């Protein structure tokens, strides 16, 4: 399947992808768009011109500043809209292709747009679903012979994060202050973090609501998944290490998280399903599933210093995740917790089996014991002011590449004179 819109072979956004996002230009307010090659297709305009007739969509559903109203229509409507867009963009379809004035108005170069937060987020949960990552951190801070806590292979461990501090790609991140307890000190001190870190994650966003008290079964979990984004759960490791007992992450995590702007649908990821790691011991029945629930998505993190080229820090794959998205959602709601449209559920750091596939600086530097050398010759154990982290991800089969775009952020110095 090819499009009449020119798409470079290395583009993240061929006609087989068609992710949804919210964009704006100098001439237009926020609205829904779909990525195709180097362009954004203005589907709010196409809806106004009756190109989605027969799908039964609210008149202003694509003229909203977030995707929530569209996602709330459910998986079937999302698929129907995506299929209609795919048909309009196919090479042999002349319906839109020959209407030059409308075509030129509807197809906007991405360089002339500004991407916004795709959803209004009510709730955010961060899981801990990579066995390799959990083993690495357990080895560092607990017992290298027994790195996993007893519950880890029985349930998807998670914590509730802060939705208000999730930002879209390109937003600068301010180095946070907090309490830090140094090993040679008897009391903590108040200072900016010295161990600022990234966490390479994949997150799904919900497209349905459930009733309080009614769990979502694992068989129905995908009905509630609108799509996936790249996610960076920035972490201040020294603040986190002092504060996390006994209730878990707080200031070391809630200062910022970054997400990519394009929502890649389950339909687009269908060809990339794979089996995940074998789960031993056998999970409880409410977490048991059939079929392939992991995805073969290559993930990469680069670091660009203030002056210099990008350096690849790690490459890994989402297929390594021990707990899949369906298990995460089923466990999250088994106690009756209700979900809302636009909720974000992040995977937790995704690490692979080799050092080059570790998805965080704390693993790559082994908590500061090893230095990473950048392309300009400088070294890092954790992130410095001026560093820009970029996350990218794509899946590829038979020459078709489905990508997520970019999830990036630059580190700014901590505020001076902070008193808390």
Q: What is the DSSP string of 76-100?
A: HHHHHHHHHHHHHHBTT--TTTT-H
Indicate whether this model's pTM tops 0.85.
Answer: yes
pLDDT at residue number 308: 82
User: What are the backbone angles phi and psi of residue 69, rounded to the nearest 5°?
Assistant: -65, -40
Q: How far apart are CA 414 and CA 411, in angstroms?
A: 9
Percent of the chain at pLDDT above 90?
97
Q: Are 32 and 24 in contact (CB under 8 A)?
A: no
Say which DSSP state 319 is in: G
Could you give the CA distance from residue 86 to residue 51 in angstroms, rounded to a whole number? 12
- Cβ atoms within 10 Å of 233's Cβ, excluding its own: 26
The pLDDT value recorded for residue 359 is 98
Q: State yes or no: pLDDT of 420 exceeds 60.
A: no
Distance of CA 22 to the CA centre of its chain: 16
| Percent of the residues in the chain that have a pLDDT greater than 70, as a whole number | 99
The pLDDT tens digits for 91-148 are: 999 999 999 999 999 999 999 999 999 999 999 999 999 999 999 999 999 899 999 9
Q: Which residues are catalytic?
A: 133
Tell me the pLDDT band of 418, cut-offs 50, 70 and 90: low
Own/partner pairs for 215-219, CB < 8 Å, 24+ apart? 215/286, 215/330, 215/333, 215/334, 215/335, 215/336, 216/329, 216/330, 216/333, 216/339, 217/286, 217/330, 218/286, 218/287, 218/288, 218/289, 218/326, 218/327, 218/329, 218/330, 219/289
Residue 419 has pLDDT above 60, yes or no: no
199 within 8 A of 389, measured Cβ to Cβ? no
pLDDT at 363 over 50: yes
């Amino acid at each position: 399947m090819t499009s009449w819109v020119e798409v470079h072979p290395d583009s993240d956004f061929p006609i087989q992808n068609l992710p949804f996002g919210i964009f704006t230009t100098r001439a237009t307010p926020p609205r829904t768009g779909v990525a195709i090659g180097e362009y954004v297709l203005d589907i709010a305009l196409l809806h106004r011109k009756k190109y989605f007739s027969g799908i039964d969509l609210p008149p202003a559903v694509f003229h909203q500043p977030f995707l929530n109203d569209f996602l709330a229509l459910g998986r079937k409507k999302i698929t129907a809209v995506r299929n209609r867009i795919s048909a309009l963009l196919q090479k042999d379809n002349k319906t839109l292709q020959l209407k030059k004035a409308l075509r030129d108005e509807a197809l906007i170069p991405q360089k002339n747009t500004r991407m916004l937060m795709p959803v209004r987020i009510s709730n955010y949960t961060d899981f801990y679903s990579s066995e390799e990552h959990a083993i690495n951190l357990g080895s560092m801070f607990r017992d290298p012979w027994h790195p996993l806590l007893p519950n880890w292979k029985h349930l998807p461990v998670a914590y509730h994060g802060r939705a208000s501090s999730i930002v879209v790609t390109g937003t600068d991140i301010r180095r946070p202050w907090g309490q830090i307890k140094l090993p040679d000190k008897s009391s903590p001190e108040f200072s900016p973090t010295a161990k600022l870190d990234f966490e390479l994650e994949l997150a799904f966003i919900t497209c349905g609501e459930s009733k309080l008290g009614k769990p979502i079964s694992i068989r129905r979990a995908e009905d509630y998944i609108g799509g996936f984004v790249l996610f960076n759960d920035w972490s201040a490791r020294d603040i986190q290490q002092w504060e996390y007992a006994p209730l878990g992450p707080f200031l070391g995590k809630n200062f910022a998280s970054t997400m990519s702007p394009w929502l890649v649908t389950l339909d687009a990821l269908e060809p990339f399903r794979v089996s995940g790691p074998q789960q031993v011991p056998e999970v409880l029945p409410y977490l048991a599933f059939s079929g392939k629930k992991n995805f073969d998505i290559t993930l990469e993190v680069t670091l660009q210093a203030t002056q210099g080229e990008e350096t690849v820090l790690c490459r890994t794959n989402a297929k390594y995740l021990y707990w899949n998205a369906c298990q995460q959602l089923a466990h999250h709601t088994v106690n009756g917790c209700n979900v809302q449209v636009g909720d974000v559920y992040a995977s937790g750091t995704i690490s692979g089996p080799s050092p080059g596939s570790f998805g965080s600086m704390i693993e790559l530097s082994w908590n500061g014991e090893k230095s990473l050398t950048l392309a300009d010759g400088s070294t890092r154990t954790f992130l410095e002011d001026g560093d820009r982290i970029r996350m990218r991800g794509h899946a590829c089969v038979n020459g078709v590449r489905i990508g997520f775009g970019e999830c990036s952020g630059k580190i700014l110095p901590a505020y001076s004179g902070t008193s808390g």
